[in-house]
Structure 1
Amino acid sequence: MSQPTDMAAFVRIVETGGLAPAARDLGLTPSAMSKQLARLEARLGVRLLTRTTRRIALTPEGETYLARARDILALIEAAEQDVTAGRGRPRGLLRVNTGTAFARHRLIPLLPEFFVRHPDVTLDLSVTDRRVDLVSEQLDILLRTGPLGDSSLLARKIAEGRRVICAAPAYLARRGRPAAPEALAAHDCLVLRGQARLTAWPFRTAAGLQTLTVHGTATTDSAEALRDMALVGLGIIRVSGFIVARDIAEGRLVPLLEDAHVSEEVPVWAVTAPGRHRLPRVQAFVEFLVRHAAAW
């Protein structure tokens, strides 16, 4: 067995969760797959997996090897695509992570068309509003809004939007409508937990550009939950416009302080690790999103 083949077999065992399903995928018997893994571990001199009758788990050495193996296999795939350009089409498993609001309001509605165009691609979509490390979690693409921090990664802007401040009519009827930015100090302003920059709301005032640090009775780690809190009248929120565009259009939420609010651009980025950006399935997915972003 070649080393790349051993790597691919090991990665497939991890991805499928066991020797038997990995063997079926690769056209081998479970016994042959077990022997291949044993040869790989013997060559490396370490255990990569711990195995019981019910599950497998990565050892610390296995976690390190998995990260490097996936990167190496991605580079091999990209190299093969370079020399056979135009002869194949995107295929394989695509790992994507994004936030809850972007997934619900932008990404998921597009997926049926993507799979029609690229039937040989499968998707593993993880959705969370916490900060995710693309490399350590072995993702192909990280879709994120706002500023980016890690310059070692490759980022392509696929869209941009604006933030909006809004609240439900029920909240405004109970607490009154803020007539000026400073009035927010007397209101419940709901924010995402752990993202300090989103608690500083920028405004144009007579004294120039100012940011006000807001407070409220509730926080959450989900942008979608933040919208839901506003809808039931818990307070005022400041979010990307695409999250609440339909709610505002249909009167469930009311925009506030539009003349004073500095609604800065909110870029949407497709972030990839060096090497993986050249994978055909990664390129196809990013280009697909860019084409559709013009209509957002």
Structure 2
Amino acid sequence: MDQLQSIRVFARVVEAGTFTKAAESLDLPKGTVTKLVQHLESRLKVKLLNRTTRRVTVTPDGAAYYERTARLLNDLDDVEASMTNAQAKPSGRLRVDVGTSVAQYIIIPALADFYRRYPDIQLDLGVTDRPVDLITDNVDCVIRGGELQEQSLVARRIANLPLVTVASPAYLKAHGTPTHPEQLETDHTMINYFSTRTGRMYPNEFHKDGQKLEISGRYKLSVNESNAMTAALLAGLGVAQTGSFVAMPLIERGELVRVLEEWACETIPVYVVYPPNRHLSAKVRAFVEWAAELFAKQPHMGR
């Protein structure tokens, strides 16, 4: 059996956590994946993985072997990429995941330009505010907002997203305009955002003259999807913080009103993220560069 293929398959099993997920991401039969790992263990005369019915864990020898070979595989991919990318015309199927508001307001309206530049790329665009697992879901890259939790991933910061505090004219007419963030705890109704992964409510942060406040506020509605937040704001259901690239056009049209302007809100970093052990193919590199250029042009996005 091919030793290099066995090493690549072993690495994917370690990254995916199960033989089944590794086989799916590699588009190989599970039996082939199992045989390739067994061949590698037999050749090395060491046990690399502990297998259970539900999950695979790495032995100490397997962890050491993965660490060494992952670097070698990455170097090999980089060498091959450097030889081919200069001549390669970006083409093929590309899986990208982005948040719902980013898809609606930034990515999808600009895709005609992307296809003019790269007509041979077939884009599978996953649209969700739920974090995806790039390895097990076989995703080439994602655009994510917020500080990264997975330190093993490669990330390129492409923008800073300011948040603004807003409400609809109808809500403010009925409930008055808040003049201090603490009034959101007592006199107003908030629309909160909660984490899909943990269920935790994200606090609303306010900064002024060195003072920092975290306000949860009274709420009747919380959501875990950014377009639902916009719909709730437009329906007059409360006060909320949302991305400036979504809010500012609605403010300019009079559909939302900015409140507490003297209190600065949090700024969220935006990244393009991709797995560490995959070289940037021509199609991935094309999307990453295009996305960075696109975000740099956004009028309500910081660099």
Distance 1:190 1:111, change over 3 A: same
Aligned residue for 1:255?
258
Q: How many angstroms apart in 1 are the aligned matches of 2:133 and 2:34?
A: 31
Q: TM-score, normalised by structure 2?
A: 0.72
- Residues 19-168 of structure 1: matches in 2 within 5 Å? 40=32, 43-44=35-36, 79-168=79-168
Aligned residue for 1:174?
174
Whether 1:202 and 2:203 are equivalent positions in the alignment is no
* 5+ residue gaps, structure 1: 16-21, 23-35, 47-58, 62-67
Residue 143 of structure 1: how far off its partner (Å): 0.7
Mapped contact 1:78–1:280 kept (Cα < 8 A): no
Distance 1:75 1:233, change over 3 A: farther
Distance 1:74 1:281, change over 3 A: farther
Deviation track 1:228-283 (CA, whole Å, cap 9, x = no partner) reads 00001111110111122211110000000001x22232221001111335222111
Aligned residue for 1:56?
none
Residue 77 of structure 1: how far off its partner (Å): 6.3
Q: Amino acid of the residue matched to residue 285 of structure 1?
A: F
Deviation track 1:78-108 (CA, whole Å, cap 9, x = no partner) reads 5433223422212222111111111111111
Mapped contact 2:73–2:277 kept (Cα < 8 A): no
Whether 1:221 and 2:224 are equivalent positions in the alignment is yes
Deviation track 1:8-65 (CA, whole Å, cap 9, x = no partner) reads xxx9x968xxxxxx9xxxxxxxxxxxxx96994794599xxxxxxxxxxxx979xxxx
Distance 1:147 1:270, change over 3 A: same
Q: Which moved more, 1:152-161 or 1:83-92?
A: 83-92
* Equivalences, count: 255
Mapped contact 2:81–2:279 kept (Cα < 8 A): no
SS in structure 1 at match of 2:220: coil
Q: What is the CA RMSD across the aligned residues, in angstroms?
A: 3.5
Q: How many angstroms apart in 1 are the aligned matches of 2:34 and 2:163?
A: 55
Aligned residue for 1:231?
234
Residue 74 of structure 1: how far off its partner (Å): 9.2
Percent identical pairs in the alignment equals 31
Deviation track 1:114-144 (CA, whole Å, cap 9, x = no partner) reads 1221122111111111232222222111211
Mapped contact 2:97–2:141 kept (Cα < 8 A): yes
Q: How many angstroms apart in 1 are the aligned matches of 2:29 and 2:257?
A: 59
SS in structure 2 at match of 1:181: coil
Q: How many angstroms apart in 1 are the aligned matches of 2:79 and 2:54?
A: 29
Displacement over 6 Å in runs of 4+: 72-77
Mapped contact 2:77–2:278 kept (Cα < 8 A): no
Distance 1:75 1:222, change over 3 A: farther
Mapped contact 2:85–2:282 kept (Cα < 8 A): no
Mapped contact 1:227–1:237 kept (Cα < 8 A): no
Whether 1:295 and 2:301 are equivalent positions in the alignment is no
Q: How many angstroms apart in 2 are the aligned matches of 1:81 and 1:41?
A: 25
Q: TM-score, normalised by structure 1?
A: 0.73
Aligned residue for 2:272?
270
* 5+ residue gaps, structure 2: 10-20, 39-52, 56-65, 67-71, 299-303
